[in-house]
Structure 1
């Protein structure tokens, strides 16, 4: 079992939902993002998604696009992102780490080298938004052989004909994108999301986590209440982008986590 599998087993036993947070590695600089990262578990985060900055983040809205650009401008690289994970692991061997981003930086590094380095750094899973199931031989299957979960996105446009293909080599959890569009867009309504979550859960035993557009503790509670948990990214990244102190960012995260755990 990966740390992700262990975390969901523990949460089920405790009767709690998962709170997943996203930050962009290296935003606004490596030291600050590492400080936020180290504080996330204490703020109630169950799984950390660590963004890999990339020059052409097609699925991301302005908030995360700007975060990636800030990180790149500050000199963040895939090497430094892996080093951040390794540094985090020195003090936390429990919290799952999921690297999220696009295939280009992984391809440029070389898949075999990347997977070896990611495993050594303590990475537990990958979300690579621009690799469809038709390309599973490229990264998904090698990642799973290396002991990493490969987490797939399902969306409102993933119909019943497409869903089995999306799920076939997915592990860890399914990330349901609650709205059509980019990150940080309109807030999802639990009543609209619930039937879609139920449809996915009928097709898989994996946990279903819902993200995109969740910005308040109340929204986190509502969405977590109809799924196995929720993801918050843009709301946290926005606070970091505004230059708020680390302690203030983590206080916002704690409020969101509390809402999700009530779900």
Structure 2
């Protein structure tokens, strides 16, 4: 069942999204060589709880952390731990916040120190594909229009679009229907209606689209071990233009 949100529910999600955006900003301030991924996770959880929220991911299907932290060839669902960031790394930070009974979800991929030019381009183009997908999330379009916009852009750059993992509906549950694939055909799939809230999240690999799941049951890695990028916003389908509830504003301020 697909749940369309009232304006009141969207306001609750907007509040979750603001705490989430600020939590991302707090993490962004700490991204540097020499910091462990565990320290980033601890800061995010501390900030979210201090602001009245709960980390959406912690305890979800047994996941033990507030952040999914995925460096280099890890696409998504990486565990925070003793890994220390070093120059040349890229690292995806995915976070969710539950506040007033509603979730928001977003992700951002960071370069650490000096990264290779082709990796910088991967991050830029994956982020661009997110916004191209969001542009299509308007009432009357179909899910395939969102999916095609993302796939078409990144495949023109020679990148691989992950098939096994997709975006999703979001609201009272972290993962609701419908799925939001990052690949598809224009004019196909669910017809989008006002009040549908989606987490749109391109996961794009520098090399092959193929991925493998590690033995921990969570970590997803590129099969060819090349870097991957991941950007995500929580959005509302509207009549003329999708509304983005989450924000990268605090991240970008921290990175200046």
**Bigger fraction of residues in strand:** 2
Query: TM-score, normalising length from structure 2?
Result: 0.28
Higher fraction of helix? 1
Q: What TM-score does the superposition give when structure 1 sets the normalisation length? A: 0.28
